[in-house]
Amino acid sequence: MEKQRRVVITGVGMVSPLGTGNEKTWNSLLEGRSGISRITHFDPEGLPCQIAAEVKDFNLDDFIEIKEQKKMDRFIHLGLAAATLAMEDSGLKVTDKNAARIGVIAGAGIGGLASIEKYTEIINTKGHRRVSPFFIPMTIINLTAGQISIRFGVKGPNSAVATACATGTHAIGDAFKLIQRGAADAMICGGSEAVITPLGIAGFASMKALSTRNDAPEKASRPFDVDRDGFVMGEGSGILVLEEMEHAMNRGARIYAEIVGYGLNADAYHITSPAPNGEGATACMGYALTDAGLKPEAVDYINAHGTSTNYGDEIETTAIKNVFGEHAYKLCVSSTKSMIGHLLGASGGVEGAICALSIFNGIVPPTINLDTPDPECDLDYVPHKARKLDINIAMSNSFGFGGTNGCIILKKFDRS
């Protein structure tokens, strides 16, 4: 049997509520800063939830020419910016010779909601002739991948993922498998999202999924805390550059970590609630471990889905204990959503990037606002302060509406 190709991470690009660029986001995570504040994208007065994790320092002109900007919704702007940062970080050069061996998988959970809202108002007030000819390509989910491929001239596998909150993780996992089986030598992959809009906030608020701690935004996202009252909407993008190991080493690339396992499955239970006792999440983590050829005891750190919802955090804790047994109490488990909110389709991309940086730098970001741990959530969630840790194996979890689950496993890179 032919040996499977090894896949490594050589580029990281993050645009998050903590800043544009890897350094800003990473340093703020380690300092335990919150990127959550009162909504400024529109006037939220009258809505039950008036807070979100907005990207505040993003200068569109730094990444996209003015004449091209109007062809894209904000979620594409953010995704293209993160991809540009990831490619710059990787140093990967696209040529006529290698373009067909480099691909893109990038997605979103919802897509161009802001543009849909805008042009719905326009058609209702000014008529159909005022609808932009770019309306469709600025809103459909695959245009992040399309615009990335156009920007860099990559002609390999090109696809989009739309699996709610598991989107970014599924994009990375699918890209990993394409390289592993020889269909590509490098992939640009991850997710983006930008739905902090009146309709987006109202929709999630009507489900009573969002925190209403409007008077203390920085304290609102509090995964695993007994006083959590819902998630906080975030926006941004996380994009990785993956390469086949020899391809990366032959060009002298810096390698952050290796991807060694991927699991995905469905709860087949409910449109929004996770399956009882964490059955789906338990199986998904187990599939990833089997794919990686690892025993549960090998894992050092889990970047949890950890959204700050009452049921979700408890169920994920149960699932981790189902998979890891007594080792669950020896793990570091943290939720970076406590600082950046829930980026929906972008969350898995950003959290995969965070796992890679955690392994590379030997440090675990904290879970902030964990003041009074829920008795049902009794693991080591790295409260308040980052922790130095020699991480050999890290896991990133993403669980989405519709019961769709994703899990990737990263490993410290070792040439042998």
Q: For residue 3, what pLDDT band results from cuts at 50, 70 and 90? A: confident
Q: Which residues are catalytic?
A: 165, 305, 342
pLDDT computed for residue 88 by the predictor: 98
Q: Are residues 157 and 266 in the same domain?
A: no
Tell me whether residue 2 is in a domain.
Answer: no
Q: What is the pLDDT of residues 266-275, one digit of tens each?
A: 999 999 999 9
CA distances 349 to 188, 205, 346, Å, are 11, 24, 5
Tell me which residue of 153, 175, 177, 158 sits closest to 99, measured CA to CA.
153
Tell me whether residue 403 is in a domain.
Answer: yes
The residue out of 250, 284, 304 marking a domain boundary is 250
Q: What is the pLDDT of residues 405-416, one digit of tens each?
A: 999 999 999 987
Tell me whether residue 416 is in a domain.
Answer: no
Mean pLDDT along residues 358-368: 98
CA 48 to chain centre: 26
Tell me which residue of 151, 149, 139, 162 sits closest to 70, measured CA to CA.
139
CA distance 258 to 176: 10
- The CATH number covering residue 308 comes to 3.40.47.10
Tell me whether residue 80 is in a domain.
Answer: yes
Tell me: pLDDT of 329 over 90. yes
pLDDT computed for residue 56 by the predictor: 95
Q: For residue 126, what pLDDT band results from cuts at 50, 70 and 90? A: very high
Tell me whether residue 303 is in a domain.
Answer: yes
Q: For residue 252, what pLDDT band results from cuts at 50, 70 and 90? A: very high
Tell me whether residue 324 is in a domain.
Answer: yes
Tell me whether residue 201 is in a domain.
Answer: yes
Q: Are residues 114 and 177 in the same domain?
A: yes
Q: Are residues 208 and 297 in the same domain?
A: no
Q: Are residues 90 and 197 in the same domain?
A: yes
pLDDT computed for residue 364 by the predictor: 98
CA distance 100 to 80: 20
Domain total of the chain = 2
The residue out of 250, 283, 302 marking a domain boundary is 250
Q: Are residues 310 and 180 in the same domain?
A: no
Alpha-carbon dihedral angle through residues 72, 75, 77, 83, given to the nearest 10 degrees: -130
Q: Are residues 148 and 224 in the same domain?
A: yes
Q: Which helix (DSSP H) or strand (DSSP E) does residue 333 occupy?
A: strand 332-334
Q: What is the pLDDT of residues 13-24, one digit of tens each?
A: 999 999 999 999
Q: Are residues 241 and 277 in the same domain?
A: no
Q: Are residues 243 and 282 in the same domain?
A: no
Angle made by CA atoms 118, 20, 76, in degrees to the nearest 5: 35
Query: Range of 166's domain?
Result: 7-250
Q: What is the pLDDT of residues 290-323, one digit of tens each?
A: 999 999 999 999 999 999 999 999 999 999 999 9
Q: Which residue has the tokens 């596998």?
A: 157
Tell me: pLDDT of 354 over 80. yes
Tell me whether residue 1 is in a domain.
Answer: no
User: Is the C-alpha dihedral spanning 364, 25, 151, 117 positive or negative?
Assistant: positive
Q: For residue 152, what pLDDT band results from cuts at 50, 70 and 90? A: very high
Q: Are residues 214 and 283 in the same domain?
A: no
Mean pLDDT along residues 82-94: 98
Q: Are residues 73 and 138 in the same domain?
A: yes
Tell me: pLDDT of 325 over 70. yes
Q: For residue 2, what pLDDT band results from cuts at 50, 70 and 90? A: low
Q: Are residues 246 and 266 in the same domain?
A: no
Mean pLDDT along residues 252-262: 98
The residue out of 223, 250, 277 marking a domain boundary is 250
Name the average pLDDT for the chain.
97
Q: Are residues 210 and 337 in the same domain?
A: no
Q: Which residue has the tokens 């983590």?
A: 285
